[in-house]
Chains A and B, each alone.
Chain A
Amino acid sequence: MTTGSSKAALAVPLLLAAAAASVILPLVHPVNGYLLNLFMQAATYAMAVLGLTVVLGYAGQISIAQAGFFGLGAYGLAIGTTVLHLPFIVALLLGVCVAGLLGAVLGASTLKLGGHYLAMVTISFQQILTLVLTNWISLTNGPDGIRNIPRPSLFGISWQDSDRYLALCLVVLYGVGAFVWWLKGTKLGLGMQAVRDNELAAEVVGVDTYRVKVTAFCLSALLGGLGGGLFAGGFGYISPDQFSFGESVVFLTMVLLGGADAAVGSAVGTALLILLPEWLRFLKGAYLAVYGLAVILIMVFMPTGLWGVLSRLAGPPRLRDRGAPEVLTLGDPEAAAKGGLLLEIKGLAKHFGGLKALDGVDISVERGKVHALIGPNGSGKTTMLNVLSGIYRPTRGRCWSMASRSPACRLMNWPPPGSGARSRTSGCSIA
Chain B
Amino acid sequence: MAIFLQLLFTGIGIGAVYSLVALGFVLIYRATNVVNFAQGEFAMLGAYLMVVTTQDLGLPYWAAILISLAAMGVIGALFNLGVYYPLRHRSFLPVVISTIGASILLTNSVLVGYGPAPESLAGMFDFPGFQIAGVFLDSQYLLIIGVTILLVAFQYFFFEHTLLGKKMQATSQDKEMASLLGIPVARMIMLTFIYSAILGGLAGILVAPILFVSVGLGSQVALKAFAASIIGGFGDVTGAIVGGLSLGIIETFGAAYISVPYKDAFAFLVLFGFLLIRPQGIFGEKVAQKA
Contacts and interface: CB of A to CB of B under 8 A. Distances in A.
B151 interface: no
B178 interface: no
Given A285-B111, A286-B112, A289-B112, A113 B275 contact: yes
A132 B96 CA distance: 27
Interface string B271-291: 110011001000000010101
A256 interface: yes
A127 interface: yes
Contacts of B269: 124, 128
A109 interface: yes
B265 A128 contact: yes
Contact of A200 (B94, B275, B287, B289): B289
A292 B106 contact: yes
Interface residues on B, range: 35 or more
Contacts of B112: 285-286, 289
Contacts of A292: 101-108
B230 A295 contact: no
A174 B54 CA distance: 56
A117 B104 contact: no
A358 to B, nearest CB: 15
A115 interface: yes
A127 B224 CA distance: 11
Contact of A295 (B29, B100, B234): B100
Contact of B275 (A117, A289, A303): A117
By secondary structure, the B interface counts as helix
A197 B225 CA distance: 31
A299 B97 contact: yes
A120 B272 CA distance: 9
Interface in A220-261: 245, 249, 252-253, 256
B275 A295 contact: no
Contact of A296 (B92, B93, B98): B98
A149 interface: no
Contacts of A135: 261-262
B17 to A, nearest CB: 18
A123 B289 contact: no
A8 interface: no
Contact of B101 (A116, A119, A128, A295): A295
A390 to B, nearest CB: 11
B268 A124 contact: yes
B271 A303 contact: no
Nearest to A382: B291
Interface residues on A, range: 35 or more
Interface in B58-94: 82-83, 86-87, 90, 92-94
B97 A128 contact: no
A120 B231 CA distance: 11
Given A120-B227, A121-B275, A292-B108, A127 B268 contact: yes
Given A135-B261, A293-B105, A112 B291 contact: no
A232 B106 CA distance: 31
B147 to A, nearest CB: 27
A291 to B, nearest CB: 6
Contact of A299 (B87, B265, B276): B87
A131 B93 CA distance: 27
A84 B60 CA distance: 61
B8 interface: no
A131 B234 contact: no
A288 to B, nearest CB: 4
B114 to A, nearest CB: 11
Given A112-B276, A291-B104, A253 B97 contact: yes
A194 interface: no
Contact of B226 (A120, A132, A252, A285): A120
A213 B291 CA distance: 20
Interface in A261-309: 285-286, 288-289, 291-296, 298-300, 303
Given A120-B226, A289-B109, A300-B87, A127 B275 contact: no
Contacts of B226: 120, 123
B223 interface: yes
Interface of A: 56, 62, 109, 112-117, 119-121, 123-125, 127-128, 131-132, 134-135, 199-200, 245, 249, 252-253, 256, 285-286, 288-289, 291-296, 298-300, 303, 386, 391-392
Given A253-B97, A292-B106, 6 more contacts: A112-B276, A245-B219, A252-B97, A286-B109, A288-B104, A289-B105
Interface of B: 29, 35, 82-83, 86-87, 90, 92-98, 100-109, 111-112, 219, 223, 226-227, 230, 234, 261-262, 264-265, 268-269, 271-272, 275-276, 279, 287, 289, 291
* 8 A-B pairs with the lowest CB-CB distances in the bound complex, closest first: A295-B101, A292-B105, A292-B104, A289-B108, A288-B108, A124-B268, A296-B101, A299-B98
